[in-house]
Amino acid sequence: MTAAENVCYTLINVPMDSEPPSEISLKNDLEKGDVKSKTEALKKVIIMILNGEKLPGLLMTIIRFVLPLQDHTIKKLLLVFWEIVPKTTPDGRLLHEMILVCDAYRKDLQHPNEFIRGSTLRFLCKLKEAELLEPLMPAIRACLEHRHSYVRRNAVLAIYTIYRNFEHLIPDAPELIHDFLVNEKDASCKRNAFMMLIHADQDRALDYLSTCIDQVQTFGDILQLVIVELIYKVCHANPSERARFIRCIYNLLQSSSPAVKYEAAGTLVTLSSAPTAIKAAAQCYIDLIIKESDNNVKLIVLDRLIELKEHPAHERVLQDLVMDILRVLSTPDLEVRKKTLQLALDLVSSRNVEELVIVLKKEVIKTNNVSEHEDTDKYRQLLVRTLHSCSVRFPDMAANVIPVLMEFLSDSNEAAAADVLEFVREAIQRFDNLRMLIVEKMLEVFHAIKSVKIYRGALWILGEYCSTKEDIQSVMTEVRRSLGEIPIVESEIKKEAGELKPEEEITVGPVQKLVTEMGTYATQSALSSSRPTKKEEERPPLRGFLLDGDFFVAASLATTLTKIALRYVALVQEKKKQNSFIAEAMLLMATILHLGKSSLPKKPITDDDVDRISLCLKVLSECSPLMNDIFNKECRQSLSHMLSAKLEEEKLSQKKESEKRNVTVQPDDPISFMQLTAKNEMNCKEDQFQLSLLAAMGNTQRKEAADPLASKLNKVTQLTGFSDPVYAEAYVHVNQYDIVLDVLVVNQTSDTLQNCTLELATLGDLKLVEKPSPLTLAPHDFANIKANVKVASTENGIIFGNIVYDVSGAASDRNCVVLSDIHIDIMDYIQPATCTDAEFRQMWAEFEWENKVTVNTNIIDLNDYLQHILKSTNMKCLTPEKALSGYCGFMAANLYARSIFGEDALANVSIEKPIQQGPEAPVTGHIRIRAKSQGMALSLGDKINLSQKKTSV
């Protein structure tokens, strides 16, 4: 039986806190109560039967006192009751009372109210007793001609399920439904009838479709969806039929229903790989993304486009649609934009890169005009990174992109400005022809930079790449402008004194002493503190940074001044001008040192920064050729090495990606001709409809590993001992958010075990969905019990419980066998993921939960230990291979993974090989794990602790 044909039962939520009522009180309510109390009593009976109670004494009471009632609620509850109540005697024969029930339902099938007729027909779909259904067949057939569509469509469903389960009851069902379909006008009835013909008699379904293939566009969307499914199945089983139906699929791409368009596009791609078909399907997907308001729908359809791109033959077609794909950027959702930009970047080629860059530039400018919002900043970052990648791959574009992006160096959002700076740094190193343009643009925006981090980077770029006398002079002018009046300490003291004199007339003593006391702002009143704030706002940027105590930027400035002074000396021959420039640079450094040592800044200068500035002063006073080489050549070489290593890494990852996608065909492989393929060979291709249905039901078939230990047997947990009266073992199947426990229960005794029930409870973020129903086990018999558990987050969960049963004929209490605990492995939810260094550092700073694990292993090689940890935790190593190669007795690496619930897990491995203990000494060190939730950090730590030691196979 396929997944689509499994019967769906009614599920009822049961409040656990209520006390179960007695059978006598229920009987009393059902016999003598009014309609309301009978309704409540019937609900309680249903819940008790679902919990495993038999209640055979109430069957006749319900038939006598409840079945004749005409109340709609009671009739609905009775349908549920008859669905779940045991209808047979222990030896399998039908209960006599059920004949009365059958007669009542025959009357309901002829009831004047269409709701009662329709709901009774729905109930009959769930009946599994042919003896009960046989007397009702004439009434069910008559319902096909009822005036109301609700009754007719449920009659079709009832006939379909009866035909499938008991064909002898209605052997002419396909013919009957085909005649019904030809004359039917209602869309839902036609859909159900057509659906039945697809599964019961495909030839009749095709006959009907061929008579109305030209009117398919006028049908309702529910019928169109079923037609798409039929065409897919027919063409899948018999490829020669494609030409007959492909035009119909093309027409359905124009349907008004988004669901039909989506399914038709997916079917078209599987039926034909012609460029026109791929283009039509991709165009349909793009329209759906733009028109649908739900972000989840947009993401799903985007995934389908990405799947199309993965096929090498389709990629070329999609490259022509890049501009259409970029229309999706009008969606405000960041995740959708992120996927769209990634897809566009993967499809970009020399033919369309110019148009792509124009659109992205417009988008970047748009983000500047939008009111500040967290997502706007992130979107701007995405755009900058995309433009960065385009410029690196297509250097001709860099000249158009750089002027627009450099405006954002003065952006208040530091992350976006940092991305721009990184791009500018790479561009100025790679593209010699753009250096003049970048330096010129950098000098224009330099004074407007607000962030100290960006300021440092800009200073470095200017110091490194200003090569003409004019540019060097311009840099010095900008630095002077940004620093304000010098010497800084004296000018600041004068400023303070100028402000404080009128108010502090009583103060005697030197002005300087007064100001030094006030420099820390320790005793200021609210009135006087408002004035310096106003002055602070007017300060030039660099001066502001220094007075705030950020002297790292001063060290960066000292290096920049040294570089440009040494270059100026090489460019200008006049001694006077040389000395004048060097003196000016040294004056600026000296005044910053003076400021750092005074009490004016909020934080004093650090010793490291003092050393750096002093070193620069010494270099300028001596001007030795060696120092000139170090400052002006080796700095640039180190950047060049870093960029080339980064580029090499990117090329390597792209190569791996393309190798994955390239379909390698051996020269001696047999050629497969679709027209010559036998029907049974075609079945090896997977049915997309069946696969999607299985995925929705959580039954996706994972490809088992070649290693037999990694197969299903590896997931079997023994729950009881071999000497227990009941032996149990469970296969734990994890499917994303569900865990299915398939428990094998074996009766090892010579007695019949009645009401054998599996009772489970959970610990952690797990929730039992339903209570497994009780079983009766014959001597030495076995049975499988399934239990579903929902998972809410990534942390170690435990399922525990017991098996209780009654021994047939014994007077003792219920027997109980306690089960071993089942530990749910966190690794089933964790997947390797990748992120940039900047994102890793940001998350590392943000995540509050840290778990420090001490390395305790028998592995003696650092690299082996790292690979073992990666394998056992499912994490991905972000540190490049090059950085880990070689041997120095120490290793540090960053690891990253993501759970299926979207939780991030970070880890930093710091390990060393204690050489003093000899070559056989095991690895020592620590692993620090950080996560947003406590459960994730602890669970990952436990996993590492458990799997640190390598077991010898």
Work out the average pLDDT over 732-743.
80
- Among 138-147, 540-549, 896-905, top mean pLDDT goes to 138-147
**Higher-pLDDT residue of 854, 620:** 854
Q: What is the pLDDT of residue 705?
A: 41
Closest Cα partner for 798 from 784, 819, 783? 819
Give domain 714-824's CATH architecture: Sandwich (2.60)
Which residue do the tokens 């897809």 mark?
Answer: 343
The rounded Cα 598 to chain-centroid distance in angstroms is 53
Work out the average pLDDT over 326-353.
84
Work out the average pLDDT over 779-784.
89
Q: Residues 897, 882: contact at Cβ < 8 Å?
A: no
Q: What is the pLDDT of residue 528?
A: 35
Q: What is the pLDDT of residue 660?
A: 56
Q: What is the pLDDT of residue 535?
A: 42
What pLDDT band is residue 458 in, cutting at 50, 70 and 90? Answer: confident
Work out the average pLDDT over 38-67.
82
Q: What is the pLDDT of residues 822-831, one digit of tens each?
A: 887 777 778 8
Q: What is the pLDDT of residues 187-243, one digit of tens each?
A: 888 888 888 888 888 888 888 887 877 777 777 778 888 888 888 888 777 777 777
Closest Cα partner for 930 from 834, 838, 853? 853
Work out the average pLDDT over 181-185.
84
Closest Cα partner for 645 from 872, 347, 881? 881
Q: What is the pLDDT of residue 928?
A: 92
**All structural domains of the chain with their residue ranges:** 348-446, 462-495+539-637, 714-824, 828-948
Work out the average pLDDT over 886-891.
80
Asked which of 41-45, 116-120, 268-272 is least confident by mean pLDDT, the reply is 268-272
**Higher-pLDDT residue of 91, 266:** 266
Q: Is the pLDDT of residue 529 over 50?
A: no
What pLDDT band is residue 880 in, cutting at 50, 70 and 90? Answer: confident
Q: What is the pLDDT of residue 155?
A: 92
Cα(2)–Cα(692) distance, integer angstroms: 13
Q: Residues 589, 560: contact at Cβ < 8 Å?
A: no
What pLDDT band is residue 661 in, cutting at 50, 70 and 90? Answer: low
- Among 130-139, 481-490, 531-540, 684-693, top mean pLDDT goes to 130-139
Q: Could you tell me which residues are beta bridge partners of residue 757?
A: 804
Q: What is the pLDDT of residue 923?
A: 86
Work out the average pLDDT over 87-105.
81
Q: Residues 727, 720: contact at Cβ < 8 Å?
A: yes
**Higher-pLDDT residue of 511, 536:** 536
What is the percent of the chain with per-residue pLDDT over 70, rounded to a whole number?
Answer: 83
Q: What is the pLDDT of residue 264?
A: 85
**Alpha-carbon distances of 313 from 239, 245, 272, 841, rounded to whole Å:** 20, 23, 12, 39
Q: How many CA atoms lie within 13 A of 915 on its CB side?
A: 4
Q: Is the pLDDT of residue 836 over 70?
A: yes
What pTM was computed for the model? 0.67
The vertex-489 CA angle with 487 and 493, nearest 5°, equals 120
Same fold, 714-824 and 828-948: no
Cα(284)–Cα(271) distance, integer angstroms: 16
Peptide bond into 670 cis (omega under 30): no
Q: Is the pLDDT of residue 519 over 50?
A: no
Mean pLDDT score of the chain: 78
Q: What is the pLDDT of residue 745?
A: 92
Q: What is the pLDDT of residue 727?
A: 93
Which residue do the tokens 């839902």 mark?
Answer: 188
Q: What is the pLDDT of residues 275-317, one digit of tens each?
A: 888 888 888 888 888 888 888 888 888 888 888 888 777 878 8
Work out the average pLDDT over 418-423.
81
- CATH for 828-948? 3.30.310.10
Q: Residues 339, 299: contact at Cβ < 8 Å?
A: yes
Cα(578)–Cα(584) distance, integer angstroms: 10
Asked which of 46-50, 464-468, 517-521, 804-808 is least confident by mean pLDDT, the reply is 517-521
Cα(820)–Cα(802) distance, integer angstroms: 8
